[in-house]
Amino acid sequence: MSKLILNSELLNKLMGGREPSTDESYQIYQDAEKDPSELCKAAEFLRNENKGRKVTYSRKVFFNLINLCRDTCSYCTYKSEPTQTKISMMSKYDIQNLVEIGRKYKCTEALFVTGERPEQKYQEARTWLKQNGFASTAEYLAHASEIALTAGLFPHTNAGNLTKAEMNELKKTNVSLGLMLENSVERLSEKGMPHEFAPSKNPKARIKVLENAGELGIPMTTGLLIGIGESPFELIDSIYAIRDIHKKFGNIQELILQNFQPKPDTAMKNNQGPHERYFKTLVALTRIIMPKMNIQIPPNLSPISYSGFLSVGINDWGGISPITPDYVNPEFPWPSIESVEKNCANAGFELRARFPVYPEFLSYVNSDLKSRVMEMADFDGLVKGEYLK
């Protein structure tokens, strides 16, 4: 192992791979408030040691299955009401049609996203489900996943707080599932806070879902939303909450760090997003706390400067679609994959396409799914270059 010598005695002690205590992470953050340069150097070093000079992304199709939602978050523009023009309730035909388009564009991920249990609040959702032959959104998700998988796309579902039984059913067709923790502190669910009217965002409920996924052996994507009213120490505590789940079950395949962006027509439209220096400091600190984790930021939410995050420890850009928008953040279009590749190369990195399950988590998926992935995978467990041509 090569060595990095820093002025910080604490950071030097961590360069061998030892993970910091919570108090040490608080101290690292406080030191970085004055000057983040050493923290960033340490994060970059640990990324290079653990992940090399490859940076990955998943070439995806975003299936906005249904965007009615029983919750209301103060910053969300994804949720629709039945009378709004942005409403999405995809039929089986819609799904099949988009699957075929995804195949033409060489996508490998079918990202299925829904609102939180819309049938519990909306008659329109119950009618839509009945018309398609299902009693619940989770049942429809299982069927939609089968459609995508049969056509050669690998499903990854993000549908809120699924039950253990629902996740076990989706495990048959999904190579991974996703659930953003967002934050581990209950204060953000109190009166006047962003999650006041979003009971599914209660951190205890979300942590339980992540633990259930761990017991089922499902590769999980999770992460934090930065800049919605939390303190830096609360964010650090939230990173440790995810780390604790991963230490117990080993199934957290990646950690997304998403910067809040204020949007029109929301209660938080006048709130400011996190300053880039603050955001980068938290990204770098995440690499220190979890040196071997796959860490990503969404490039479309930092459109001018996303490539700069390669210098603070990330190793993944998440899903990027050549054909569908980011329905959760429609105001922020994806950068082209070609421009991402160019920016990575300029920073000394090789951009590689991955599946919605990371190579080191393939052992978690069932034998049928694994064999399908391996048919399209190279020696490193990433997407074969010839498939994308």
Q: Which long-range contacts (CB under 8 A, 24 or more apart) does 372-376 make?
A: 372/149, 372/154, 373/154, 373/175, 376/108
Say what the pLDDT of residue 310 is.
Answer: 97
Tokens 């029109």 belong to 264
Beta bridge partners of 254: 221
Q: In the block, which residue shows the tokens 């119950």?
A: 126
Distance CA(307)–CA(386), nearest Å, equals 26
Q: Give a yes or no: residue 364 inside a domain.
A: yes
Say if 8 falls within a structural domain.
no
> Could you tell me if 67 and 325 are in contact, meaning their C-beta atoms sit under 8 angstroms apart?
no
The sign of the CA dihedral 55, 302, 154, 255 is positive
What tens-digit pLDDT sequence spans the chain (389 residues)? 457 888 899 999 999 878 999 999 999 999 999 999 999 999 999 999 999 999 999 999 999 999 999 999 999 999 999 999 999 999 999 999 999 999 999 999 999 999 999 999 999 999 999 999 999 999 999 999 999 999 999 999 999 999 999 999 999 999 999 999 999 999 999 999 999 999 999 999 999 999 999 999 999 999 999 999 999 999 999 999 999 999 999 999 999 999 999 999 899 999 999 999 999 999 999 999 999 999 999 999 999 999 999 999 999 999 999 999 999 999 999 999 999 999 999 999 999 999 999 999 999 999 999 999 999 999 999 999 998 88
CB 245, CB 218: distance < 8 Å: no
CATH code: domain of residue 361: 3.20.20.70
Residue span of the structural domain in which 64 resides: 19-388
Q: How confident is the model at residue 2, as a pLDDT?
A: 59
Closest CA to 153 of 111, 113, 114: 111
Domain contains 50: yes
Question: Distance (Å, rounded) from C-alpha 109 to C-alpha 99?
Answer: 10
Nearest to 327 by CA among 141, 78, 99, 144: 78
Question: b vs e for 266-288, b when ≥16 Cβ sit within 10 Å of the residue's Cβ?
Answer: bebeebebbeeebbbbbbbbbbb
Element (H, E) at 59: strand 54-66
Indicate whether 25 belongs to any domain: yes
- DSSP assignment string, 360-380: GGGGGS-HHHHHHHHHHB-TT
Q: How many residues are present in the chain?
A: 389
Whole-structure pTM value: 0.96
Return the amino acid letter for 13: K
Q: Are strands 252-259 and 295-296 parallel, antiparallel or unpaired?
A: parallel
In a domain, 157, yes or no: yes
Which three-class secondary structure state does DSSP give residue 57?
Answer: strand
C-alpha span between 357 and 273 (Å, rounded): 30
- Residue 191 domain flag: yes
Domain assignment of residue 12, yes or no:
no
| Bridge partner residues of 296 (DSSP) | 256, 316
- What's the domain count of the chain? 1
Q: Which amino acid is at 59?
A: R
CB-CB contact of 77 with 326 (8 Å): no
Q: Quick check: 185 and 237 in contact, CB under 8 A? A: yes
Distance CA 289, CA 42 (A): 11
Instruction: Give domain status of residue 5, yes or no.
Output: no
Residues contacting 92, CB < 8 A, separation 6+: 132, 143, 144, 147
DSSP labels for 241-273? HHHHHHHHH--EEEEEEEE----TTSTTTTSPP
Q: What is the largest CA-CA distance in the chain?
A: 65
**If you ran DSSP here, which 8-state letter would residue 72 be given?**
B
What is the dihedral angle through the alpha carbons of 316, 359, 153, 156, rounded to the nearest 10 degrees?
Answer: -60
- Beta-carbon contacts of residue 355 (< 8 Å; ≥ 6 apart): 58, 108, 109, 154, 175, 373, 376, 377, 381, 382, 383
